Amino acid sequence: MRGVARLLNRASADEEFEPRGSGGGGFGMSSGFNTDIRVGEIVFHVQTEDRGPSRPVIDTAVYQNGRVLHRRSSNYAEFAASPEFTDEALRQRVEQQHRAIIEELRSGALAKDAAPPAAQAALSTFEVQLINTGSWLSAGNVTLDVEVVGRADRAPLAGVQVEARILGSLTNVRHTGTTDDVGRVHIQFPLPPLGKGDLALVICAVAEGRKEEIRFEMRSRAKAPAPPAKDPAPGS
């Protein structure tokens, strides 16, 4: 397992191509890509994932301000059973689908359903906040204190379904909870086995038919270099 992870700034730079994958050999190692892309004044988030051996599907979702604008899935069960299948060949298929969606966004073929910049704020009536940003990971356990409030009046929202996961982990398990009367929910789970690619803590909430998501990149803390060995004392 990697060293203790630290929380970095939310999201990536516009149009930064971020691969992630577990590496290693053997069927069952999921992989995926995440990209924030700017088309004119609108920013989209494109997420492509391999769902794994139990569900051999490559799934791509395009988000604008937490709202799913487009989803595309392709089944590769026949390819997985063929002699041509390798982890690297599957990774290339995932990347090809991811890049194809990005090109369609740039060409305007998918961006036509996007809300104009002036209307983006109106699409989201609430926001999700991680309260304990500095202490959410300790002793191999993830502890999240999440708050959901109205964007305009900052009033707490009760009964909102909240989901958390570590994107890029080997298990991709989703952990859920529901906000209480003060708009807060406590979600706790063991840190899952981590892949070798990019990692992110993803927290999303669904209310009034809309989805709001926050994500934080994760990195391992570099180990401190060992101190130089001291020369033996004379005569020792």
Cα distances from 225 to residues 213, 222, 228, 229, 232, in angstroms, run 37, 9, 9, 12, 21
- 3-class state of residue 113 by DSSP: helix
Mean pLDDT across the chain: 77
In a domain, 10, yes or no: yes
Span 64-108, pLDDT tens digits? 766 678 889 999 999 999 999 998 999 899 999 999 999 999 888
Q: Specify whether the CB–CB gap between 158 and 173 falls below 8 A.
A: no
The CA distance from 77 to 51, in Å, is 11
In a domain, 42, yes or no: yes
Task: Calculate mean pLDDT across residues 211-229.
Answer: 64
CA-based radius of gyration for the chain = 21
Clarify whether residues 50 and 16 are in a common domain. yes
Please name the residues in contact with 78: beta carbons below 8 A apart, sequence gap of 6 or more. none
Clarify whether residues 21 and 77 are in a common domain. yes
The CA distance from 19 to 7, in Å, is 19
In a domain, 235, yes or no: no
Clarify whether residues 63 and 106 are in a common domain. yes
Residue 204's CATH number = 2.60.40.10
Per the structure, the complete domain to which residue 104 belongs is given by 5-113
Span 29-72, pLDDT tens digits? 346 788 888 888 788 888 888 887 778 899 998 887 666 788 89
In a domain, 225, yes or no: no
- Give the end of a domain, one of 89, 113, 137: 113
In a domain, 232, yes or no: no
Clarify whether residues 99 and 139 are in a common domain. no
Q: Specify whether the CB–CB gap between 218 and 199 falls below 8 A.
A: yes
Clarify whether residues 108 and 128 are in a common domain. no
Cα distances from 216 to residues 54, 65, 133, 200, in angstroms, run 27, 15, 10, 5
Most confident of 108-112, 117-121, 139-143: 139-143
Q: Evaluate if residue 13 carries a pLDDT over 80.
A: no
Residue 120's pLDDT band, with cuts at 50, 70 and 90, is low
Q: Specify whether the CB–CB gap between 190 and 141 falls below 8 A.
A: yes
In a domain, 118, yes or no: no
The beta strands (E) that lie in 11-153 are given as: 17-21, 31-39, 42-50, 57-64, 67-75, 126-130, 137-138, 141-150
Clarify whether residues 14 and 99 are in a common domain. yes
Please name the residues in contact with 83: beta carbons below 8 A apart, sequence gap of 6 or more. none
Clarify whether residues 149 and 176 are in a common domain. yes
